[in-house]
Structure 1
């Protein structure tokens, strides 16, 4: 279907195919989805695939589809600073990929032929960060590198930087510093809550959204009968909320359920950590949606329309969301702030 849609320029059918394929981009088939996206110029699918590979690199490289990646797609992966695996894992895959490419070309899987298959991609591998035992046993004896390159890598372990290969550490998003910006000036409450609370935001830089600070339910005294005596106690129940993130096409990019134990509420702001980071492209609108807040809750006032973290230089700008049904806007309401990495 995708092939036909691309060949005959059926734009609507092609978009529908991309929507279906996005489901595979967030799975062990991400490398296959990446290859398809690159072949048919599906930029959204390509981005989703690379995002998933960034956060699940080792598992994706072990996929049966990974060795079939084209040279160009392999380059897209290796350019990333966020890969969630060691450089040794990458080297192990590169040897496997190189041998497979030689088999396809019916060539001897020698170091020279593998180097030919890799081309300039070779210089995206951060050999100085590879475990020395593995490097000495598998790489040094493979013929993949020249003698001068191997000497420079060994020297890099004794303070002499390698001129050919970078040594910067790939830092997975999960291990990067988390920044926290708050938009409210004051906190008050309670406010009634019977529908969706939503706010639109955009960032001046590419970030990974890791969570949101919300104003929790306002736990009021409720009458209860204990030992035949009527008393007013805190509500012992729970509130089950849903948090979603929508992109500028109103497509859902993230969804998470969260149970709030009313008896455990402390403070007027609650941090909700996302189960996985959400990739936020710079200068594009995203909308965060909260649903299910059945109790009255605290809320912010004197809110700022734009907040800058001085340490990382990220500026988050807020806008009113047309999705909101409960009074949250750029001046007041729900959503105390955002947590993110760069």
Structure 2
């Protein structure tokens, strides 16, 4: 006896979406079979449901060239195909940054426009420091121009290191990386961008089974190397850290050295010689290694007053990290202007696992312009393990022509019992 015959009352009280879900889940009267993914997972479904929601499925199943055998779908993973079917049958879908691009690919391939629209809305509302690269890649792949511009705007207004050694960065396509390196706003120094490009190229070598020689790395880089703004590096680190490898050839090294010191006609090089417009810089109150230890068990906030002598934008706070690696903190952060709150960082948890993470940054939701003759107060509360704490700080620091004055908080009513040992500095731009 069939499941349908054995469950006479399963339709009772169910709406259409619930009936569809039940029939799909229990494989009742399925009449089409797919072999999905590299392993060819068996997926059974109903022609009438698929054709009613997708013109591509309709042509595939009922058109003149309708397929009569198992339909092979090698380019979509089973989990993404299942998500597509759930939406087609029931109108709902669970999305997350790690899988959203593959589900979007499936929806676009089979012309399920309602799902494409839903995913695009999800991407639009979930751009963060952690997801912006994934969303940027999707926007380029599917020609979502408005979403692409929103990612670009986010990158420009949230200038924190975008490219790093995490897999999401190293796995960028050449086209997406070219787009990023062409931007006039990247919150990284050019030497750091160049070092990332090397790591990205090494990762591509690994994928291709190539030895990671300087010659192969240069071959992988292709024209991407011309997007590095070498002329805005200082000559000493350029010679020390870049000329010691054979990624650039001898003539390129010589030409770039001459450009850096101002002795070469800039029309005689392929390299991009334009200065990036947004100059991000760190304002550090002290350069000495941190040796003190601060207990965060009391949840005591850190507060510091800031004054500037000319307009400058602040993008976030630099904090000392945990003594032991890895470490996790729950963070609260705010910025005040003359004791009035003007920016609040949503409560969040950070996790650091690299031995070099002795400092970390807390980005503000949007950059804030600091103006002269106004007192600003940075307030941060860390909840978590013991952290490093600074010493020998400077009260006056000048960076990029801007003089920063740091002081203990003068408003005991607003900020009682706050300390400032854990504030090594700020992230700013002109």
Structure with max Cα Rg = 2
Tell me which of the two structures has the higher relative contact order, counting C-alpha pairs closer than 8 angstroms and 6 or more residues apart: 1
